Structure 1
Amino acid sequence: MSTRTNTPQTTGTPQTTGPTAVPSWTVGDVTVHRVDEAPLPPATGAWLLPGATPDVVSGQDWLRPHFADDEGVLRLDSHSFAFTVGGLRVLVDTGIGNGKERANPAWHHLDTDYLQRLTAAGFPPDSVDLVILTHLHADHVGWNTREVNGEWVPTFPHARYLTSRVEREFWAGYDMEEARRQMFRDSVIPVEEAGLLDLVDVPADGAEVVPGLRLIPTPGHTPGHIAVELTSHGATALITGDCIHHPLQLAHPGIGACVDIEPERSELSRRALLGSLAGTQTLVLGTHFAPPTAGRVVAHEGAFRLAPVPAGSR
């Protein structure tokens, strides 16, 4: 998602009450943990996906009760995924972050226990080796940094932060509004100044980070957007980033986000990705999918639907 001033309003600040059991899935011999930050306000879905009208949502019975309510309101979450592969302790996307000045009231000065949850998953900040950023939007880079003595410093000081070269170079030449400049000042530039940000060229057939971990180009939401593919012992998982915001887009791939930089290209990426996943055993992990968060893509009424795979499953 992005940071714009026409974002949904909410009252109060999302809070969490303390670490609980961390949901996880097994992919070969790799355990993928979902590290929760906060549920997003009910108004988010209608703002983010304008084509997701209550009638359209209600037309997909399989979305209820997990991904939408009985009134056709979409459920979305903010979370990260953490796992160990090829000897690297990896975190994919870093959420909204605490104490950040944001135009969106739902993201402004959050106070969540995200780092405690990450630690409960077995990934204390000092232990993380690699942070993969699917793209550089405010709700995917927030925990890149945390405030220490009035300064924003890298949250994961021993990690390399990685994103696509196309992504960073696009924003470097973009005429940013103040809200986005603020996000770069507090969540991206401190990582660059610490010498921790690596830019990766991601060709059409993807880029291998280490054996079993691959970056897949899925441009459109942003020009350098990537999805993350994980393989182990014949099993595969795919972390969507914002190529797919909500399972409704499986049934209606033409429904895009209001903040897509290139809407037509985003749709093409989404359709191609879904076509490659349909009928396979690939576990799809949605970066904003509400629990149960994961599932497999199956053909449905001329398009697709998500067959949920609850946490604790293989």
Structure 2
Amino acid sequence: MERIVLGDAEVIRVVEWEGAFTPARTIVPGLPAEEWERNADWLAPDHWDPVADTYLGALQTWVIRHGGRTVLVDTAVGEGRQRPHSPAFHDRRSDFLERLAAAGVRPEDVDVVVNTHLHGDHVGWNTRALDGEWVPSFPNAVYYLPAADHAAIDPDGPESGPAPAGADARIWREERRLMFADSIAPVIRSGQAVLWSDGHRLDEALTLEPAPGHTPGSSVLRLDSRGDRAVFVGDLLHSPVQLVHPGCNSCFCEDPAGAAASRLRVLRRAADERELVIPAHFAGAGAVEVRRQGAGFAVSRWAS
């Protein structure tokens, strides 16, 4: 179990799944194909399989212990979800709660759940099935959900924005409807959800900030404890190759221009203030310190 100490905070990585995900050229479609080869010496073997030309990633949750509270950042895919158009996520079986327990976290111990954005692989363990109903997995937690994302996927709310380029709009809407029903609506009904916008301070060490683009409500969570800093960036980065080319988006970004602008802004601050960058999907070490290099960024060190 990977543990990182930052000031008075302990950060623990709990992996639901890690491995080959999709062809490399699919995950960052705007990246020239030769860039994977050009950066092979540090992308392989953790983030890219050069033989199969496959992007390697992870589905995971980051646990923060600070000030006597336990915070979960994103909750991966979950179990028993009906995702007929996403075979990798459809009706999965998972030992995630057992893995969480191995990190010393029982569901009733969790005080806060942060969803950096409302995509299915970030909200799945928000809930679990009990007697045929979806109920909050963490009965004592406050769930922080970006209000802009909630508005975009609520079937009773305003019209959602366009699907990402190349996505089937009908499938996109159906997947979001299913996700809302099993992973979002139950925590709204329970009264445990806080819909936030324009930034939100959780405590003296943790602050939520908008970083729109990947979704309308995409956010980052900043940690600052006794001068040690980290930023949990959700899906601002899918692959570390985007450090070299921060203008290149993942195939899942809903507003490409907005996503690129948020990525560049967050990475500049991380490099200048030595914030540890903690994305949702990096395999390998999972977290990284960066420095400016040309128009992009380079790895200063991987977390350990």
Same-fold call, TM cutoff 0.5: yes
After TM superposition, the structure 1 = structure 2 runs for residues 129-168 of structure 1, keeping only pairs within 5 Å, are: 129-168=111-150
1:39–1:53 Cα change, 3 Å: farther
Question: Which has more strand, going by share of residues?
Answer: 2
Contact 1:83 1:89 in 2 (8 A): yes
1:12 corresponds in structure 2 to none
Query: Is 1:174 equivalent to 2:159 in the alignment?
Result: yes
User: Counterpart of 1:181 in structure 2: which amino acid?
Assistant: R
Residues of 2 paired with 1:58 and 1:307: CA distance? Answer: 20
2:102 corresponds in structure 1 to 120
Contact 2:6 2:228 in 1 (8 A): yes
Residues of 1 paired with 2:32 and 2:283: CA distance? Answer: 18
Contact 2:78 2:124 in 1 (8 A): yes
Query: Is 1:68 equivalent to 2:64 in the alignment?
Result: no
After TM superposition, the structure 1 = structure 2 runs for residues 12-31 of structure 1, keeping only pairs within 5 Å, are: 22-31=1-10
Contact 1:28 1:232 in 2 (8 A): yes
Report deviation, 1:196.
Answer: 1.0
User: In structure 1, which of residues 203, 209, 232 is the aligned counterpart of residue 202 of structure 2?
Assistant: 209
Report deviation, 1:174.
Answer: 3.2
Residues of 2 paired with 1:276 and 1:37: CA distance? Answer: 29
1:263 corresponds in structure 2 to 256
Report deviation, 1:167.
Answer: 2.3
Residues of 1 paired with 2:219 and 2:24: CA distance? Answer: 22
Contact 1:37 1:114 in 2 (8 A): yes
Report deviation, 1:232.
Answer: 0.8
SS in 2 for 1:162: strand
Contact 2:47 2:57 in 1 (8 A): yes
After TM superposition, the structure 1 = structure 2 runs for residues 1-314 of structure 1, keeping only pairs within 5 Å, are: 22-43=1-22, 45-52=24-31, 54-60=33-39, 61-71=41-51, 72-102=53-83, 103-172=85-154, 173-175=158-160, 177-202=173-198, 206-311=199-304
Contact 1:292 1:308 in 2 (8 A): no
Contact 1:54 1:73 in 2 (8 A): no
User: Counterpart of 1:39 in structure 2: which amino acid?
Assistant: E
User: Counterpart of 1:81 in structure 2: which amino acid?
Assistant: W
Give runs of ≥4 in structure 1 deviating > 3 Å: none
Residues of 2 paired with 1:188 and 1:40: CA distance? Answer: 27
Residues of 1 paired with 2:99 and 2:159: CA distance? Answer: 35
User: Counterpart of 2:30 in structure 1: which amino acid?
Assistant: G
Residues of 2 paired with 1:228 and 1:56: CA distance? Answer: 30
User: Counterpart of 1:73 in structure 2: which amino acid?
Assistant: T
SS in 2 for 1:264: helix
Contact 1:34 1:80 in 2 (8 A): yes
- Aligned pair count reads 287
Residues of 2 paired with 1:292 and 1:227: CA distance? Answer: 19
* Residues 123-182 of structure 1, C-alpha deviations (whole Å, 9 max, x = no match): 111110100010111000000111111111110011010022222223232356222111
Contact 2:287 2:302 in 1 (8 A): yes
Range 166-175 or range 131-140, more displaced: 166-175
User: Counterpart of 1:250 in structure 2: which amino acid?
Assistant: L
* Residues 239-279 of structure 1, C-alpha deviations (whole Å, 9 max, x = no match): 11011111111101121122211110110011111111125
Residues of 2 paired with 1:153 and 1:46: CA distance? Answer: 38
1:11 corresponds in structure 2 to none
1:7 corresponds in structure 2 to none
Residues of 2 paired with 1:188 and 1:67: CA distance? Answer: 31
In structure 1, runs of 5+ residues without a counterpart are 1-21
Report deviation, 1:308.
Answer: 3.5
